[in-house]
Structure formats: structure tokens, C-alpha cells
């Protein structure tokens, strides 16, 4: 039930849904057409402004620090790939930096093992298990199977943490763990691992650029990437609050 509710809330709080509703109401409510049209256009411009969303993202994200020690396990959270049922291939998305950074840290000797967390987060799964697919990918990158741990039952961040804790407490009790996930996702992830009684060090990936551009195009011209970025950011805010209440 929690999984279904969280999916529903996430859908309803997408900015593109709000924009669509405002524009739809401007067609349906003739007496308030101007009001809803202004709301729709204003919402569109606000949520498609890269300068604004980057400012909010920097405030929310956990900054990256240099890794100076060696960790027993690097925990990589899923949601970085999906499966093409026609071509039978795994397709990586814009969160794949989580995996690329884990590979780099492993080959540099900063993490001894890589744990991949993620089952299938779709309501109707179709049989694809993300952790198992990523494990096969890592084995093609000269990482031996014995150094890959697949947590393949979780469907969300809460389950990532508690399922990972179950494995780590059995095999790596009192180990040092590095949590590898997107910077925008790190606060919610740390909250979940704290509640699962697993102490982790944060290693954020795909961070928002730390500098502020003064380009007039960046500040004034709408871009679709900003809308997607807002969607991820709002999803994290809602998830953080929901997990605070649920725990």
C-alpha cells in the first residue's frame, strides 16, 4: 500500500501535471480563462527556468567530499537503468553516474566491494530485476562476481536501505560503508539508512554545477531540462517528508 500511495503522490506533484491542469481549466472555465491561462504560463516559465531550479538544487544537495579512506562496501542505489523488452538490452539514464563512480572507486581501491540495490520499481514489473542486470554489466568491466553484492528485492529507497541492512549486518557487521547515489537523492537516502541503523558516508553523484553562470540565455530562456530537474527535486522533498512521517 505504501508503494502505491507514494507513486500516486509523486505523480500528482509533478509540475507538468499542474501546468496541464491550469491550461485545461483555462479552456473549461470561460469566466476564469485569463486567470488560469496566466497561472499556466507563469508556472511554465518558473519551472522551466534553469537558473531558479539550480539555486534550489544547490541548497538541497549534499556536496561531494574527497574520499581519503578505503571502504568495505560501496552501496549503489538503483533507478539508473531500465530494460528494453524488444532489443533485450539494459538502457542507462541520467543517473548512471552512480554506477560509473562506483566502478572508478573500485578500480582505484577505494571500495572493496560494490553492492547494487534495486529490484523493479514499476507497479507491474514485467520480470526485469535491475540489480541482477547491473551485476552482469559490472562483470564485463573486470569486476569479479565475488566483489558484487546484488540486493534485488527493493522497490524504493526505504526498501533499499532496510534490505541492504539485512545483508550487511550478516556479512559485514561493523564495516565501513560508502553510500553512492545522486546528490539530489542523498538526504532521503541517508535518512533511510539511519533508520535502518546503518552508518554510511555520503558520496553524491551527478551534482548540480557549483558555479553560477551569468549567461542571459541561462537566466531568461526556458529549457525542458529544468522541468525534469524540478520534477526530481519535488519528488525528493515529498519523499523525505513522507519517510519522516512514516518512520
Indicate if the pLDDT at residue 5 is higher than 90: no
**Is residue 11 within 8 Å of residue 235, measured between CB atoms?**
no
- Tell me if 206 sits within 8 A of 95, measured CB to CB: yes
Average pLDDT for residues 180-204, to the nearest whole number? 96
Q: Which of the four pLDDT bands, split at 50, 70 and 90, describes residue 59? A: very high
Smallest CA-to-CA distance from 208 within 77, 76, 62 is with 62
Is 3's pLDDT higher than 60? no
C-alpha cell at 6: 507514494
* Fold topology of 71-204: Rossmann fold (3.40.50)
Please state the rounded mean pLDDT for residues 140-150: 95
For range 2-22, the mean pLDDT? 77
Q: Where are the beta strands (DSSP E) in the chain?
A: 71-77, 81-84, 89-92, 111-117, 148-151, 177-182, 200-205
pLDDT tens digits along 66-118? 898 999 999 999 999 887 778 878 889 989 999 999 999 999 999 999 999 99
Residue range 21-31: average pLDDT?
A: 92
Query: How many helices, marked H, and strands, marked E, lie in the chain?
Result: 10, 7
Query: In the predicted model, is pLDDT for residue 139 greater than 60?
Result: yes
* 121 has pLDDT over 80: no
Determine the average pLDDT of the residues in 211-240: 92
Chain mean pLDDT for the chain: 90
For 2, residues 6+ apart whose C-beta sits below 8 A from its C-beta are 158, 246
* Cβ atoms < 10 Å from Cβ of 9: 14
pLDDT grade, residue 189 (50/70/90)? very high
Q: What confidence score (pLDDT) does residue 87 get?
A: 82
Q: Parse the chain into domains and list their residue ranges.
A: 2-61+216-246, 71-204
Q: In the chain, pLDDT over 70 holds for what percent of residues?
A: 93
Say what the pTM is. Answer: 0.89
Check residue 110 and give its pLDDT.
97
Give the Cα separation of 24 and 247 in Å (integer).
Answer: 38
* CA 7 – CA 124 distance, rounded (Å): 12
Neighbours of 211 (CB within 10 A): 7
What pLDDT, on a 0 to 100 scale, did the predictor assign at position 175? 94
Amino acid at each position: 500500500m505504501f508503494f502505491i500511495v507514494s507513486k500516486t503522490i509523486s505523480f500528482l506533484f509533478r509540475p507538468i501535471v499542474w501546468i496541464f491542469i491550469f491550461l485545461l481549466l483555462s479552456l473549461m472555465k470561460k469566466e476564469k480563462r485569463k486567470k488560469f491561462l496566466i497561472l499556466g504560463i507563469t508556472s511554465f516559465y518558473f519551472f522551466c527556468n534553469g537558473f531558479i531550479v539550480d539555486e534550489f538544487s544547490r541548497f538541497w544537495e549534499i556536496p561531494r567530499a574527497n574520499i581519503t579512506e578505503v571502504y568495505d562496501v560501496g552501496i549503489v542505489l538503483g533507478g539508473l537503468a531500465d530494460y528494453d523488452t524488444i532489443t533485450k538490452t539494459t538502457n542507462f539514464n541520467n543517473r548512471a553516474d552512480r554506477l560509473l563512480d562506483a566502478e572508478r572507486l573500485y578500480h582505484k581501491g577505494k571500495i572493496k566491494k560494490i553492492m547494487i540495490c534495486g529490484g523493479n520499481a514499476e507497479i507491474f514489473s514485467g520480470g526485469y530485476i535491475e540489480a541482477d542486470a547491473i551485476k552482469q554489466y559490472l562483470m564485463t568491466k573486470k569486476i569479479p562476481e565475488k566483489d558484487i553484492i546484488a540486493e534485488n528485492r527493493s522497490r524504493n529507497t526505504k526498501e533499499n536501505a532496510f534490505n541492504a541492512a539485512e545483508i550487511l549486518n550478516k556479512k559485514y557487521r561493523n564495516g565501513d560503508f560508502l553510500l553512492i547515489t545522486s546528490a539530489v537523492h542523498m538526504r532521503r537516502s541517508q535518512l533511510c539508512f539511519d533508520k535502518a541503523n546503518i552508518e554510511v558516508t555520503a558520496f553524491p553523484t551527478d551534482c548540480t554545477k557549483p558555479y553560477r553562470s551569468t549567461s542571459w540565455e541561462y537566466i531568461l530562456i526556458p529549457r525542458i531540462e529544468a522541468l525534469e530537474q524540478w520534477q526530481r527535486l519535488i519528488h525528493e522533498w515529498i519523499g523525505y517528508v513522507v519517510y519522516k512521517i512514516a518512520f
